[in-house]
A and B are shown apart, each in its own frame.
Chain A
Amino acid sequence: MAEPYLYLAPAVALLVVWTYRPLVQAAQLSTYSWNLLPTTPMVPVGTDNYRRLLELPAVGDSVWRTVVLIVGLLPFTLVLPVVVGFATRGVHGRARAIYQSLIFAPFLVAPVASAAVWQWLLDPGAGIVNRVLGSDTNWIHEPATAQWVILAITGWHFMGFAVLVVSAGMAGISGDYAEAAQVDGATRRQIDWWITLPLLSPTLVFLGLMTVLLSTQWTFPLIDTLTQGGPSQATTNIYYLLWDYGFHSFDAGLSAAAGIMLFAGFGLVAGVLVWISERISFHDD
């Protein structure tokens, strides 16, 4: 029976050519020294690229900045959406639909347009933020604030999505449990904490995965258009560093080695999150 394979053929072929072949090639490339020019030969260097990665302080710094970014995004993608979800259960109908459409809108703004409008809002002289605050901080180009700007824009982008995912998750929880607990004399707070929240855990694990796997990648266009990794590397996270090694320093081997380490790290984080979710998730069925 060849039929299912025929239907799958185009998708699998594309998957192999554009995802798994390059993954394997990146693994190979990571053991070579090469400057991306077709005319220069690739020199095999064994594990040198990995050794350099571990020794370069820039790599450790950028990984640390990525971790800070992920942790900094959790309030936007997990904490606030859950708080908002609980605080707004009583709001229904047309009003809710209007609020939701406004809250979701930033998720649809193109990243470069987001970067453009935030650059305008935060302009040191003419921007509305400084004129309202009466300050002259150059938010985007000062090392102390640049990373926070990237974090705030990314949080602004993803929060509406997370709020809607949480409220959809809460809407999907059967009221029978709360009702039964109420009959048993549980307070509202106890119901929220011991019934609703655990039943929401699959949604929360999903949002956690999204934060780790997607939202930090979304910072790339912001960084590329606003700061180019600066000032003094303050916004260079691991994604931007990979790009920088590949297309600015033309160090293909180093970039590929960093990419493979990133892939391994991702696999580990995703595996741990899925494992945790299987241990702690309470399924509503």
Chain B
Amino acid sequence: MTTSESAVPEPLWRRARGHVVLVAIALVCAFPIYWLLATSLRRPDDVGSLSPVPWPLSLGNYVDATEKVDVIRLLANTFAVSGVSAAGQLLVALLASYAFAMYSFRFQRLLYLAFVGTWLVPFQVTMLPNYVLLYQMGLINNLVGVIVPTLCSALGVLMLRQHMAGFPKELVAAAKLDGRSSWSILWTVVVPNLRPALAALSILLFINAWNEYFWPAVVLQRSNAVVQLGLRSFMGTEGNDWGPMMAVAGLACLPVFVLYVVLQRHIVNAFVRSGLK
């Protein structure tokens, strides 16, 4: 993959040093995650143990957690919110990027800048007017109110536009000659060829929606309808119940980690590429 390596070959000691550096950083990065899972899987009496391997294993903390909060409902709600939000963002971004990639029209550059410009508007600036609007719509303390303001993803538009720009124009031109409408070309020619990019983007959007905290905290206030807020309810300042808390934290990470283990390379690539414009 790296052409620079072939130009300047690496001596053995450099490679060994590279391994040492990477192992050290990997351990530092992974340890808190390991400790989270290890603590949650200890027996409730062993939670304070420092033994590196949780043994004997126990689901006692998970059972305790389900007695304190309705974990199943929290996870189901979060799944629904993240799934609908990701699907909506994908659809909206697909249509918008199609317009940007396949047409040239007046105000194209200005409209494109309007999408890029959203990076400059922090959530905290728009939160009050958006809160007031949701209040007027009666969507405060409502899961719909969590989803609707997230539906336009500038990131999604930018990423898909780039993928479509590299799409062979001849295919589209040929389909046009067949007399097909742009709508049918989108769904029968462009989308099937864009499947890997769409899959990567939808995973990225789902993970972001799943991990979102700020907007649910504003809209749902002190009710704890999604798992991130449910976890917050465990975090008092004094006398934490560490075992169940780590169990809920583990559950709050579980779907994302399952996705990560299954689709590791794709997820890393999706995130990193989203950073490389």
Contacts and interface: CB of A to CB of B under 8 A. Distances in A.
Contact of A262 (B119, B125, B130, B268): B125
A175 B272 contact: no
Interface stretch (A18-26, A43-51, A52-60, A142-150): A18-26
A3 interface: yes
Nearest to B28: A156
A84 B18 CA distance: 8
Nearest to A226: B235
Nearest to A10: B92
B55 interface: no
Contact of A267 (B120, B123, B231, B240): B120
A171 B2 contact: yes
B114 A115 contact: no
B126 A23 contact: yes
A4 B111 CA distance: 11
A178 B217 CA distance: 51
B29 A156 contact: yes
Contacts of B11: 90
Interface in A162-191: 163-165, 168-176, 178-179, 182, 188, 191
Nearest to A106: B29
Nearest to B21: A87
B196 interface: no
Interface in A11-55: 11-12, 14-15, 17-23, 25-26, 29, 36, 38
B109 to A, nearest CB: 13
B95 A10 contact: yes
Interface string B56-94: 000000000000000000000000000000000001110
A1 to B, nearest CB: 7
A116 B15 contact: no
Nearest to A98: B26
Interface residues of B, number: 105
B232 A112 contact: yes
Interface string B150-169: 01101001000000000000
Nearest to B47: A126
B195 interface: no
Interface range on chain A (Cβ under 8 Å from partner): 35 or more
Nearest to A268: B120
Interface residues of B: mostly helix, strand, loop or mixed? helix
A142 B109 CA distance: 50
Contacts of B102: 4
A19 B121 CA distance: 7
Interface of B: 1-8, 10-11, 14-15, 17-19, 21-23, 25-30, 32-33, 35-36, 39, 48, 50, 91-93, 95-96, 98-100, 102-103, 105, 108, 111, 114-115, 118-130, 132-133, 135, 148-149, 151-152, 154, 157, 182, 207, 210-211, 213-214, 217-218, 228-229, 231-232, 234-235, 237, 240, 242, 245-246, 248-250, 252-253, 256-257, 260, 264-265, 267-268, 271-273, 275-277
**Closest 9 A-B residue pairs measured CB to CB?**
A90-B10, A22-B129, A259-B125, A14-B152, A22-B126, A90-B15, A175-B3, A11-B96, A175-B7
Given A11-B115, A22-B133, A206-B277, 18 more contacts: A4-B99, A11-B96, A15-B152, A36-B128, A90-B11, A99-B26, A102-B27, A103-B30, A105-B260, A106-B30, A110-B213, A112-B232, A113-B253, A123-B240, A156-B32, A161-B271, A246-B124, A266-B120
Interface of A: 1, 3-5, 7-8, 10-12, 14-15, 17-23, 25-26, 29, 36, 38, 84, 87-92, 95-121, 123, 126, 128, 131-132, 141, 156, 159-161, 163-165, 168-176, 178-179, 182, 188, 191, 196, 203, 206-207, 210, 213, 217, 220-221, 224-226, 239, 242-243, 246-247, 252, 255-256, 259-260, 262-263, 266-267, 270
17 contacts: A4-B103, A26-B128, A87-B17, A91-B22, A99-B26, A104-B271, A106-B29, A108-B260, A111-B228, A126-B242, A131-B50, A168-B273, A170-B2, A175-B2, A178-B7, A203-B276, A259-B122
